[in-house]
Amino acid sequence: MKRVTGFIENTMGIIFTVCGFLAVGFVVLITGFLVVSGLPAIGEIGIIQFLFGRVWASTASHPSYGILPFILTSVYGTAGAIVIGVPLGLLCAIFIAKITPKHVGIAVRGAVDLLGGIPSVVYGLVGMIVIVPFVRKTFNLPDGANLFSAIIVLAVMILPSVVSVSETAIRAVPKEYEEASLALGATKTETVFKVIVPAAKSGILTSIALGIGRSIGEAMAVMMVSGNVANMPSLFKSVRFLTTAVASEMSYSSGLQRKALFSVALVLFVFILIINLILNLVVKKERE
């Protein structure tokens, strides 16, 4: 009896250990597969040509594989989404954490969480039907599916992460800070902006990093509103992101084109890893 129990104990211990290391295994597996399938094309095309080539013409008779347009589009699109989304989300977070009565805050927070749960294709659909025609008419363009529309959709999509993480960070600031500031004669609003927000800085930075991660990785919604042509980015031109480059050509690609798409994914993955690294450093700094 004792031996059987001991055997079961050991087996379960091993099983749990395996489960525990599964996440590590998955990360290694994903990295491995991306590197192995992404590197050959980079080698074939040449890393300088690949990363800094300005022309992507994968199906032309003399194909050219330069992904600079995708990289820049992703960077500009994310930057634009951050510029619009972060101030909006941050102000809202401050407002519901410190200024409004509690039940209003809870209601708005619920709305924000709901916004975060909406599937990206629904954002894409609404963007396609509402934003794209709106942009076309307002700016008098032949087609409204461009970088600007994508930035608007992305800005809305990053709002939930920005609001919820910033709000949590702002709420976590010790009450004494606020009381001390109020006692010194600062108004509530001054206290919030000059004492509480600086104290919650690292949480707010985390929320921005999450927003960057979300917007640089978004594929489907962006694909539906950005027009999907491999132009060098410009606000009112149809553009293609790193993510949409992978998604749009994968289904019919072959040969070097297909390999090059894996390389694009590898570049995207590296971007995400860098953002995660920065995020981790920020969080670590905060803990210290």
Partner 1 sequence: MKEKISMSRKVKCTLLNIIMLAACAVICVILLGIVGFVVYRGAGNITVDLITNKPSLLKGTIGILPNILNTLYIIVMTLVLVLPLGVGAAIYLNEYAKNKKIVKLIELATETLSGIPSIIYGLVGMLIFVQFINLDTSLIAGSLTLVIMTLPTIIRTTQESLKTVPNGYREGSLALGAGKWYMVRSVVLPSCIDGVVTGCILSIGRIVGESAALLFTAGMANEVLGIFEFFKPKMSGSSLTVALYMYAKERGEFEIAFAIAAILLVLTCAINFLSKAAAVLLKRKGSGK
Positions 83 through 142 that interact with partner 1 (CB under 8 A): 87-89, 91-92, 94-96, 99-100, 108, 110-115, 117-126, 128-130
Residue 84 tokens read as 């619009």
With contacts defined by CB under 8 A, name the span among 1-9, 71-79, 175-183, 231-239 that binds partner 1.
1-9
Q: Which is nearer to partner 1, 22 or 54 (CB)?
A: 22
Separation of alpha carbons 93 and 98, rounded Å: 8
Q: Which is nearer to partner 1, 54 or 284 (CB)?
A: 284
Taking CB under 8 A as the criterion, the residue among 1, 4, 5, 61 binding partner 1 is 5
Q: What angle do CA 147, 270, 214 make, to 5 degrees?
A: 45
CB 128, min distance to partner 1, A: 6
Which phi and psi (to 5°) does residue 20 adopt? -60, -40
Contacts 24+ apart (CB under 8 A), 96-103: 96/163, 96/167, 97/167, 97/170, 97/171, 98/170, 98/188, 98/192, 98/196, 99/188, 99/189, 99/192
Separation of alpha carbons 235 and 231, rounded Å: 11
Separation of alpha carbons 18 and 25, rounded Å: 10
- Binding to partner 1 (CB under 8 A) within 218-277 occurs at 218-220, 223-224, 243, 246-247, 250-251, 262, 265, 268-269, 272-273, 275-276
Start-to-end Cα distance in the chain: 50
CB 237, min distance to partner 1, A: 19
Separation of alpha carbons 45 and 23, rounded Å: 33
With contacts defined by CB under 8 A, name the span among 11-19, 63-71, 164-172, 175-183 that binds partner 1.
11-19
Q: Which is nearer to partner 1, 122 or 232 (CB)?
A: 122
Taking CB under 8 A as the criterion, the residue among 1, 20, 60, 252 binding partner 1 is 20
Per-residue string for binding with partner 1, 177-216, x by CB under 8 A? --------x-xxxx--x-------------------xx-x
Is 170 near partner 1 (CB under 8 A)?
A: no
Separation of alpha carbons 179 and 196, rounded Å: 11
